[in-house]
Amino acid sequence: MATFTYQTVAAMQQPPVGALPSPGDVAIVAGYHVYDDDGGGTFRLEVPTGPYADRIDEGMVFDCVNSDTDTRIGVWRRIDQGPVRTAWYGIGNVRANGATTVTIPHAAAQIERAINAAGFGGVVVFSGTITLDRTVHIPTTTQLKGEGEGWDRPVIKAGENLKVMFTRASSTRIWVTGISFEGWIDGSAPLPDGISTSVNGYGARTIGFVLCNTTGRADLDSEFAFCRFYNMRMGIVGFGRNFLVTRTHFSSCRYGIVIHPAAKSTTNDVTIRGFNFIANRFHGCGGPRQQVDVVLTSSVTTQTTGLDAFEVGDIVVYRAGTAPTGLEDNMLYVVGADGVLYDRAAPDMYIIQDASEEESETDETPPPIDPQVITPEAWGATAQTIQKVNGGGLFDRSSTCIMVAGLSDALKGGLIADCYADDCRRFYHGPMGDMRITGVTGYRGYETLVETVPEGTPTASKAINGAITNCQWTCDLASPTTYRHGPTILIHGSGVQVSNNLIANSVEHGLYVRADDCQVTGNVVRRSGTAAAPFPGIRVTGTGCLIDGNLIDGYEGAPGLDLPSPTTSMVGTNRIAAYPAGTT
């Protein structure tokens, strides 16, 4: 057995004619593209039986050709130990001095090959910077792990016009740790006054991950930790239940995390439950504040449904006007193709085969994006009939840090805890069900930070165990009031517990409860509205609520606690104080 040394993988694939290896010989390669770029390794020459093509993956197995006769000598098989690395496939290679080297253009195919080589439950280690040319389809249960920490973690960027970065095969599990994902920003997007691209996700066109099953299962069973999502239309979109996101940073995303129900079927439990979003940070998410009324709302008129201002897959909240439209007030809906509105989303609203993928210049056909591309009707969504009448209300794109959309009566247990959100439009929008939001710090929010929706139709279910507790919510006084809207917490769904929160500097009410049978206890609400335009700190118009032990410091000219007269709610002892006139 002889040992050969080569500077690069290309040199190993076409060895000098005067020094041709034989089967069983070993090659030591210094780098994939250049010396010491982490893509080299140790290989053994083999002569496999059967066709060569299905064995060569340009990472673990390489061709070996006699350049003089253009005949195959065999295949080089990597014999390195340890987890599979993307650098072995020529992508994300980093030289020892930290400089990123030139990478091959077809990164998505190489990532898929690396995942296949790692096998079921295997680990793929990412390094450097990788730009995707198309969507990566994860074919099997796997772990995607970044090499490095903090700002040194690897970066995966979306190529131009890429809609979705990653999908996965049905019923597979993925664990993603220590990787940054950056979306593509449409620089041609119209920029109204004072807006630049990437502000709160404005101009973002990319979704990081779309997770769903088409095999009747609702369990996603996937985890994300120590990751970063930047400049995303949506960071993570999940259809189903049971997944974890922790210690992950979402920055300049229109939506951070979006949860939709799994497909309807006669055998599948379509409830949403078992999600845990813990110790994450959200910065500048939820759409640009300057666009709240200008672009992000559209009137329903006799000429249009008003949905032409939105993209397919956008989640909108309907605000009723002076005339009926057949839609439920304050309910979330999803925009489908051709301006059709649905009560829930389907995968094909997000997973779209791009023309750029179909015209790929790779030497292989890109794999199909699973049978996940399913129409809304096949997924169980119901198209909404909109009565096109004047005064029919508004559709507001409810971009937010965390959202649960569709079938609000089907939300069961979930936990959002110990997160931090600053300079965001909204933190949470969706039903409460049996979910708990606790320990969240919302700083410098500029619209309603938490809004719950009414119980869904046709069935109704109260949020018997839903709770918003022990959080601190502070709105952005520095923003012009034209950019700030609504109460800090707005409750439309009944049965919610809102307790032990600190709410300050709201543009309107600190807490507005429009639903029945809610518990409002132990909250501290300060400075609702302004001295010139004060608002009650807490307003409750629902029936059968318990209101006790709240501390409300407000401006003179507005009651601290606003209740209908007469009220059927139980009102205990609440301390209400007013700031002196002239206080700001």
Q: In 10 A of CB 188, how many CB atoms?
A: 8
Beta bridge partners, 118, equal none
DSSP state of 119: -
- Please identify which residue in the block is written with the tokens 């051709």: 338
pLDDT reported for residue 357: 40
Side-chain-side CA neighbours of 448 within 13 Å: the count stands at 22
Contact yes or no for 505/536 (Cβ under 8 A): no
**392, part of any domain:** no
3-state secondary structure (DSSP) of residue 319: strand
DSSP class per residue in 43-66:
EEEE--SS-STTT--SSSEEEEEE
168-219 residue pLDDT tens: 888 889 999 999 999 998 776 655 554 544 556 667 889 999 998 876 678 8
pLDDT reported for residue 478: 61
Structure tokens at 435: 């979910």
Beta bridge partners, 5, equal 28
Q: What is the dihedral of CA 134, 140, 146, 147, to 10 degrees?
A: -110
**171, part of any domain:** no
Verify cis geometry, omega within 30 degrees of 0, for the bond prior to 566: yes
Side-chain-side CA neighbours of 227 within 13 Å: the count stands at 27
Determine the Cα–Cα distance for residues 537 and 410; give it in Å rounded to an integer: 31
Number of domains in the chain: 2
Q: What is the dihedral of CA 509, 515, 518, 520, to 10 degrees?
A: 10
**472, part of any domain:** yes
pLDDT reported for residue 391: 67
**571, part of any domain:** yes
Last residue of a domain, one of 20, 46, 81: 81
Last residue of a domain, one of 62, 81, 100: 81
pLDDT reported for residue 359: 39
Verify cis geometry, omega within 30 degrees of 0, for the bond prior to 368: no
Beta strand pairing call for 142-146 and 174-177 = parallel
Give the range of the structural domain holding residue 73, as residue numbers without chain letter: 3-81
Question: Which residue from 185, 172, 165 is spatially nearest to 253, judged by alpha carbons?
Answer: 185
DSSP state of 565: S
**43, part of any domain:** yes
Determine the Cα–Cα distance for residues 543 and 525; give it in Å rounded to an integer: 21
Q: In 10 A of CB 236, how many CB atoms?
A: 29
pLDDT reported for residue 339: 75
Q: What is the dihedral of CA 571, 577, 578, 583, to 10 degrees?
A: -140
User: From first to last of its 584 residues, what are the pLDDT tens digits of the chain?
Assistant: 899 999 999 999 999 888 899 999 999 999 999 888 889 999 999 988 777 666 789 999 999 998 888 888 899 999 988 999 999 999 987 765 555 555 567 899 999 999 999 999 999 999 989 999 899 999 999 999 998 776 778 999 999 889 999 998 888 899 999 999 999 987 766 555 545 445 566 678 899 999 988 766 788 899 999 999 999 999 999 988 899 999 999 998 989 999 988 887 655 555 678 899 999 999 988 865 554 433 334 566 655 666 777 788 888 888 887 777 788 888 888 988 877 888 888 888 888 644 344 334 444 554 544 444 578 888 888 888 787 776 667 777 778 899 988 765 567 788 999 999 998 888 999 888 888 999 999 998 878 899 998 876 544 455 566 899 999 999 866 655 555 678 999 999 888 999 999 999 888 899 999 999 999 999 999 989 888 888 999 999 999 999 999 999 988 888 899 998 888 899 999 999 876 655 55
pLDDT reported for residue 201: 66
Question: Which residue from 68, 70, 62 is spatially nearest to 29, judged by alpha carbons?
Answer: 62
Last residue of a domain, one of 40, 63, 81: 81
**261, part of any domain:** no
Determine the Cα–Cα distance for residues 189 and 282; give it in Å rounded to an integer: 24
Contact yes or no for 177/225 (Cβ under 8 A): yes
**11, part of any domain:** yes
Contact yes or no for 455/478 (Cβ under 8 A): no
Q: What are phi and psi of 473, to 5 degrees?
A: -125, 115
**369, part of any domain:** no
pLDDT reported for residue 581: 53
DSSP class per residue in 233-262:
SEEEEEESEEEEEES-EEES-SEEEEEE--
Determine the Cα–Cα distance for residues 420 and 507; give it in Å rounded to an integer: 20
Burial (CB count within 10 angstroms: exposed 0-12, middle 13-18, buried 19+), residue 249? middle
